Chains A and B, each alone.
Chain A
């Protein structure tokens, strides 16, 4: 009875329907709200990741600029700033992508999307949230039927990638010095007797600091004689300049170079032009050292030192003839030899005319042809055996055949012994060790002179390759005892400036840094002397890092040239100028500044 009336009664129907539908309605409503919450959280996470990545990038840049190039502090900063912006992440969620790799394995394990960093380096920050662990998500999904439970709960991922722009700028300041001495001695630079060192530039003495470091640092200048003086624009010394106090306190030695008065400036060098305890780099040390390494431009080629007749051949023109050896594939310039031909056969070898340029001088006999007067002449069958070695400088003739210097060859020495003027065509000259005539480049005789083409020459002063006095233990030096020289290095055009266009630009005398050395007064043999009564003119760099550059007597040297030497010993009245030095000159600086900026490149 009661059951029947209950079934037919419609009272309270809305309440029943509401009771049935309300949980479902509430469930879907809360799910909708929760999905919105996911989007909101995703947006907030991205902002936190961006802020964290930018902050980490700022730290990375600060570390790079401070020189801490391998610092990982950026990771700590990234973690901290993620926290400041609401999210806690582990250190491994902050990583760096560089051009050589990355440390982002953990980030990629969390989020397999590839990291887009088109312009490394980039800082990457990853923030993740597993919504299944949120109480709000769990409340939205539970309790509910199985179908609701299967709705996926996403892991929210926010990744920020910030690219740091790297720009490098180089600032170059030309040097103001034209003399640099490298010995750590109070007489690193010495002015002798009535000598007057005139320099339209500064004099730098580094010994003890950047070069040949030792203590105490006493690199300074010494004046031997009351008449000794210097006229320069500045004096930079590695030692405390009180070591050279006579220059600072006694104006009779030190004067300021003057365009109108020098030589003979009466203006004392002001104290402001002294720089004590100051290092000056040798700007050419690395460049020159590389020149004398295997394959370097300062390493002489092989050449033919001697020739002996093996087969006389036949059909040749009688007389003194010039023969060129056959190119056997190992030369860019075959050797040439002067021979005597009698009865159509080669009967004697007069001497080597051109040692040639060889990668390896042939050991077997080599055929030759008569090229006298620049044409190929009749005859055949003659061949010669060759001896490798440096070429003895023949002066002005080989036998009766006129001869002029040939660039690019390996000479034992270059010696002008009163033979008038010898001009050196443009190119590199290799002087390897010396011989009994001369150890290097020498000149004697008042009427002797050496000049170069305007396009310039470079003399590489290096060692020999044989044995004995002038073999591997002998290094070429410069010894101009009399006469005059007028040399220009490449790029100077014998003028007042130099254009750096080739590797030997502005380089005149370049000595192998492996050469032995010592102080000028005790080991005279290491003096590189420029003497003479005439006016010598040099243009370019004279580089003698282990030996002494010495002007003596009443010699006068002019031109646009600078000197780097272990010791500088000045007599006479040489005039220096720094316009013809390679690169930035002496005392110049090259500063490379790397700047970073952080453009937005968010992933």
Chain B
């Protein structure tokens, strides 16, 4: 038994396989992690573009459709956000929201606040990123229209 173990320690056969077995998980996590990060940044940029497009629609329509926060206004904002992302179902559920209220700014005015809160699904299990931050990517644009 002791001699068998001793022979195993000094034997160099399949050492590459052993090293690869140890390093591969780290390498895969690293590789997929980088891919997730890139995809996350792209999604974050998309979410940002959606919020900006929604706000732009609200401003442009502030003297017509979006003179108040009507259903037509909200529908137009969501359509603009969908168009900006190239994803016709981007604003599904509670992803997109907009409000038309008095500005919190000391100088007053009427503000539109348009938000997009998009649940990002990474390649690696979300649990791996739980230590970092929420996997919901958010962007909010606040703009005064009057």
Contact = CB atoms under 8 A, between A and B. Distances in A.
Nearest to B111: A55
Interface in B96-142: 103-107, 109, 111, 139-142
Given A58-B145, A58-B146, A47 B51 contact: yes
Contacts of B142: 51, 81, 84-85
Contacts of B107: 59, 73, 76-77, 80
Interface in A561-603: 597-598, 600
Interface string B1-33: 000000000001001100110010000000000
B109 A59 contact: yes
Contacts of A14: 16, 19-20, 23
Interface in A329-378: none
Nearest to B63: A597
Nearest to B49: A43
Nearest to B58: A54
Contact of B105 (A11, A77, A598): A77
Of B16, B105, B106, most A-chain CB atoms within 10 Å: B105
A77 B105 CA distance: 8
A215 B126 CA distance: 82
A40 B51 contact: no
A33 interface: yes
A76 to B, nearest CB: 6
A44 interface: yes
A296 interface: no
Nearest to B144: A55
A59 B110 CA distance: 10
Contacts of A600: 56, 59-60
A172 to B, nearest CB: 25
**Chain A, interface size: which category?**
20 to 34
A77 B144 contact: yes
Q: How large is the interface on B (under 10, 10 to 19, 20 to 34, 35 or more residues)?
A: 35 or more
B144 A59 contact: yes
Interface string A21-51: 0000000010001001101100110111011
Interface string A446-475: 000000000000000000000000000000
Given A43-B48, A51-B55, A77-B144, A58 B109 contact: yes
A11 B19 CA distance: 11
A98 interface: no
A11 B18 CA distance: 12
B143 A51 contact: yes
Contacts of B72: none
Contacts of B15: 11
Contacts of A598: 59
A20 interface: no
B106 A11 contact: no
A73 B109 CA distance: 12
A36 B44 CA distance: 11
A15 B144 contact: no
B12 A11 contact: yes
Given A33-B34, A62-B109, A81 B56 contact: no
Nearest to A77: B107
- The 5 A-B residue pairs with the shortest CB-CB distance, nearest first, are A55-B144, A51-B143, A47-B52, A84-B142, A58-B144
Given A59-B109, A59-B144, A62-B109, 5 more contacts: A36-B41, A51-B52, A76-B107, A80-B105, A81-B105
Interface of B: 12, 15-16, 19-20, 23, 34, 37-38, 41, 44-45, 48-49, 51-52, 55-56, 59-60, 63, 103-107, 109, 111, 139-146
10 contacts: A40-B44, A43-B49, A46-B52, A47-B55, A47-B141, A50-B56, A55-B105, A73-B107, A80-B105, A81-B143
